[in-house]
């Protein structure tokens, strides 16, 4: 299969088979696809909370307009974006860059200072919009990786952020739940899998100048 086959195969799964769980080897590949997603300045200002515990999934369904994907998927990936940039985030990045690229940390100091000057005083609303946007890139990495593994997924924005944040107790970590991916295997009785894709035509989307 090529990449376009994967995109045609995947669909926003409405009904998961609650009895089929993702093997650990595939979970690791999905996690790696998220880890490798690009982010602004490479700072990766998010955490992904993975829920496999059934009691917790059932609880979260109550805060997600009762969508069955939340309780029936094998795993929930909750993308939580940072609501504030800390000096430590930049120091950790500079340290990591220096080690990964085998260069003295002093050589990256100027870049670190530039990032601090640019990001530390950004207001919290702007910071949240900026970091949340980046979680969607990681989300698409997840969905493509899943499709390549014949694993189904459903991106979900239909949930109550405040209740998720309270449930996950993440406000104190300056994180906020932005978007969720329910991941697992489609139920045979999910009619959505048989629907034709609804998309605009190429000509309606692109302009060549
Ligand atoms: C950011 C985002 C949020 C979404 N939220 C939900 C959701 O809460 N519940 C749901 O059933 N589908 C949700 N969807 C799925 C879309 O409705 C679906 O992707 C779209 O209709 C196209 O269909 P397809 O993905 O099956 O090709 C969401 C999709 C995206 C990209």
Q: Which residue carries 């996690």 as its tokens?
A: 31
3-state SS, residue 16: strand
pLDDT one-digit tens code per residue, 22-45: 999 999 999 999 999 999 999 999
Q: What percentage of the chain reaches a pLDDT higher than 70?
A: 100
Asked whether residue 165 falls in the same domain as residue 140, the answer is: yes
Tell me, what's the pLDDT at 1? 75
Asked whether residue 73 falls in the same domain as residue 104, the answer is: no
Cα of 118 vs centre of ligand 1, distance in Å, is: 34
User: What's the whole-number mean pLDDT along residues 1-6?
Assistant: 92
Phi and psi, residue 76, nearest 5°: -110, 130
Tell me, what's the pLDDT at 200? 98
Q: Going by CA atoms, what residue is nearest to atom 26 of ligand 1? A: 11
Pairwise pLDDT comparison (122 vs 10), residue with the higher score: 10
Look at residues 191, 208, 186 and name the one whose alpha carbon lies nearest to residue 72.
Answer: 186
Asked whether residue 113 falls in the same domain as residue 78, the answer is: no
The range of the structural domain enclosing residue 99 comes to: 86-121
Asked whether residue 40 falls in the same domain as residue 96, the answer is: no
In the chain, how many domains are there?
2
Q: Going by CA atoms, what residue is nearest to atom 16 of ligand 1? A: 12
Asked whether residue 17 falls in the same domain as residue 117, the answer is: no
pLDDT one-digit tens code per residue, 157-202: 999 999 999 999 999 999 999 999 999 999 999 999 999 999 999 9
pLDDT one-digit tens code per residue, 39-75: 999 999 999 999 999 999 999 999 999 999 999 999 9
Asked whether residue 13 falls in the same domain as residue 100, the answer is: no
Phi and psi, residue 172, nearest 5°: -65, -15
Q: Which of 121, 141, 173 is the last residue of a domain?
A: 121
Burial of 208: CB neighbours in 10 Å, binned 0-12, 13-18, 19+: exposed
State the pLDDT confidence band at 109, using cuts at 50, 70 and 90. very high
Structure tokens at 181: 């991916």
The minimum-distance atom of ligand 1 relative to the CA of 159 is 8
Q: What percentage of the chain reaches a pLDDT higher than 90?
A: 98
Write the DSSP assignment of 51-74 as a string of letters: E--HHHHHHHHHTTTT-HHHHHSS
Burial of 97: CB neighbours in 10 Å, binned 0-12, 13-18, 19+: middle
**Structural domain includes residue 53:** yes
User: What's the whole-number mean pLDDT along residues 109-135?
Assistant: 96
**Structural domain includes residue 95:** yes
Cα of 110 vs centre of ligand 1, distance in Å, is: 42
> Best mutation site among 146, 157, 200 for ligand 1, i.e. most ligand atoms within 8 A of its Cβ?
157
Q: Which of 99, 121, 143 is the last residue of a domain?
A: 121
């Amino acid at each position: 299969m090529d990449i376009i086959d994967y995109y045609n195969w995947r669909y926003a799964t409405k009904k998961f088979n609650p009895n089929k769980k993702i093997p650990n080897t595939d979970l690791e590949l999905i996690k790696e696809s998220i880890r490798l997603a690009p982010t602004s300045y490479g700072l990766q200002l998010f955490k992904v909370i993975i829920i496999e515990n059934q009691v917790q999934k059932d609880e979260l369904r109550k805060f997600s307009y009762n969508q069955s994907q939340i309780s029936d998927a094998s795993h929930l990936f909750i993308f939580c974006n940072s609501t504030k940039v800390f000096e430590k985030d930049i120091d950790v990045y500079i340290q990591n860059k220096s080690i990964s690229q085998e260069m003295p940390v002093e050589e990256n100091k100027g870049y670190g200072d530039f990032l601090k000057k640019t990001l530390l005083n950004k207001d919290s609303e702007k910071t949240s919009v900026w970091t949340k946007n980046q979680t969607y890139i990681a989300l698409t990495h997840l969905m493509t990786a899943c499709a390549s593994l014949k694993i189904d997924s459903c991106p979900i924005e239909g949930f109550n952020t405040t209740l998720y944040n309270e449930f996950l107790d993440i406000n104190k970590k300056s994180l906020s739940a932005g978007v969720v991916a329910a991941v697992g295997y489609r139920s045979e009785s999910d009619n959505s899998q048989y629907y034709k894709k609804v998309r605009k035509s190429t000509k309606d989307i692109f302009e060549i100048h």
